[in-house]
Amino acid sequence: MSESSASTPTEPVKNFEEVRKKIQEYPTQRIAVASGTDEQTLIAAAQARDEKIATTVLVGDEKLIHANAEKAGVDLHEIDIIDVQDPVKAAYRAVEEVSSGKAQIYMKGYIHSDDFLRTVISRDVGLRTDNMLNHVFILDATHLGRLLFITDGAMNIKPDLEKKARIIANTVALAQLFDIEVPKVAVLSAVEVIQPNIEATLEAAALAKMSDRRQFHGGIVDGPFALDNAINPVAAKYKKVTGPVAGHADILLVPEITTGNVLAKSFAHISGGVSAGLIFGAKTPVVLPSRSDPMICKLMGIACAVYVAGATVSKRVKIGKVHF
């Protein structure tokens, strides 16, 4: 094979600006927003329209939508509205738009996450599949020079070892859609050594050994890691933590939901970073931001969901199975 005809490895997607550029190659998606009434969601929907990222149908209290749009100075032209005043009923109506094929992406608006998640997994109109579903915060970690995936900080409360393995398989597939060919997974705990009285370190060690024995399809899993030596090579070197994952993790698997939620929200609300929240493993991409997230986080959630929808078709990446 000549040098010119040899295939060139695709560079990983490193930030949200690259996501915004790449989705111009993909079809425009239609998003159904459950209880899409709050100002930040309305601004994000209008921005997605203006950037030709996605079209939107807002399902919620129409009077409140118009009142908040006026307050925020949002023009709702080309944004459809389905008037359902109760937030939970609005969510079921919105997810039905997606499950019936009228929209391609489902998004949380001003509604509690547990109510929203019940509609995602509804047997009647939901988006569940045979895959396990997990939530992933995608962080635009500019200081690291890469995207960072945190899971699970919003859906699975305290996953056991088997569920953690399945969450890893899901998230590795998601990272591969962002052209990270072999994602590096760091299993987090409070410390980077195995301590029998800290259960998370024992599970991390088991997951690492599973990776050594090729029980995962794709990705390299290691742990336990503390946060610093998982993402910072200087910290890893200082603490004498070695291996391909140390200091270079793409994916952070957290011990339970509280750790993941606090970690991801501190990125946005303390450091001012931008993140996107997705549920992966459903029939279609699902955008799950926090209700208090600023517009840019909601918009990047939409952009990442559109990217995932397009990349899933073009790259044909499938969620790998875990060999037990």
Q: Which CATH number belongs to the domain containing residue 242 in this structure? A: 3.40.718.10
Asked whether residue 110 carries a pLDDT value surpassing 50, the answer given is: yes
pLDDT at 2: 41
What one-letter code names the amino acid at 264? Answer: A
pLDDT at 322: 85
Q: Indicate if 308 and 216 belong to the same structural domain.
A: no
Residue 18 DSSP symbol: H
Structure tokens at 110: 């001003």
Closest residue by Cα to residue 274 from 15, 32, 98: 15
Q: Give the number of other Cβ atoms within 10 Å of residue 87's Cβ.
A: 19
pLDDT at 8: 57
Instruction: Confirm whether 191 is domain-assigned.
Output: yes
Question: Positive or negative, the Cα torsion across 288, 289, 291, 297?
Answer: negative
Structure tokens at 217: 């399809």
290-293: which pairs have CB atoms within 8 A and are 24 or more residues apart? 290/265, 291/38, 291/108, 291/110, 291/111, 293/40, 293/268
Instruction: Confirm whether 5 is domain-assigned.
Output: no
Q: What is the CATH number of the domain that holds 115?
A: 3.40.50.10950
How buried is residue 161: exposed, middle or buried, by Cβ count under 10 Å (0-12/13-18/19+)? middle
Q: 276-314: b or e for each residue (b if 16 or more CB lie within 10 Å)?
A: bbbbbbbebbbbbbbbebbbbbbbbbbbbbbbbbbbbee
Asked whether residue 314 carries a pLDDT value surpassing 80, the answer given is: no
Q: Angle 76-50-280 (CA atoms, 0-180°, nearest 5)?
A: 95
What one-letter code names the amino acid at 291? Answer: R
Among residues of the chain, what percentage have pLDDT more than 70?
96
Write the Ramachandran bin of 195: left for phi over 0, alpha for psi from -120 to 50, otherwise beta. beta
Structure tokens at 144: 């690291």
> 60 near 109, Cβ under 8 Å?
yes
Asked whether residue 51 carries a pLDDT value surpassing 90, the answer given is: yes
Closest residue by Cα to residue 185 from 218, 139, 228, 154: 218
Q: Indicate if 142 and 199 belong to the same structural domain.
A: yes
Instruction: Confirm whether 2 is domain-assigned.
Output: no
Q: Indicate if 106 and 143 belong to the same structural domain.
A: no
- Backbone Cα Rg of the chain: 20
Q: Which DSSP helix (H) or strand (E) runs through 250?
A: none
Asked whether residue 43 carries a pLDDT value surpassing 50, the answer given is: yes
Q: Indicate if 160 and 268 belong to the same structural domain.
A: yes
Number of domains in the chain: 2
For 206-222, what is the mean pLDDT? 94
pLDDT for 245-266, tens place per residue? Answer: 999 999 999 999 999 999 999 9
pLDDT for 139-181, tens place per residue? Answer: 999 999 999 999 999 999 999 999 999 999 999 999 999 999 9
3 falls in which pLDDT band (50, 70, 90)?
A: very low
Q: Indicate if 182 and 218 belong to the same structural domain.
A: yes
Q: Indicate if 179 and 247 belong to the same structural domain.
A: yes
pLDDT at 217: 85
Q: Indicate if 193 and 309 belong to the same structural domain.
A: no
Among residues of the chain, what percentage have pLDDT more than 90?
87
Closest residue by Cα to residue 171 from 251, 69, 79, 255: 251
From CA 31, how far away is CA 95, in angstroms rounded?
10
Instruction: Confirm whether 188 is domain-assigned.
Output: yes
Q: Say if pTM beats, i.e. exceeds, 0.85.
A: yes
For 280-292, what is the mean pLDDT? 93
* Strand-pair category, 105-108 with 286-287: parallel
Instruction: Confirm whether 4 is domain-assigned.
Output: no
Q: Indicate if 30 and 145 belong to the same structural domain.
A: no
Asked whether residue 6 carries a pLDDT value surpassing 80, the answer given is: no
pLDDT at 321: 76
Q: Indicate if 176 and 271 belong to the same structural domain.
A: yes
Q: Indicate if 143 and 174 belong to the same structural domain.
A: yes
Instruction: Confirm whether 56 is domain-assigned.
Output: yes
Instruction: Confirm whether 6 is domain-assigned.
Output: no
pLDDT at 9: 67
> 281 near 167, Cβ under 8 Å?
no
Instruction: Confirm whether 264 is domain-assigned.
Output: yes
Range of the domain at 193: 137-276
**Residue with the two structure tokens 């410390």:** 191
Q: Indicate if 149 and 261 belong to the same structural domain.
A: yes
Q: Indicate if 242 and 161 belong to the same structural domain.
A: yes
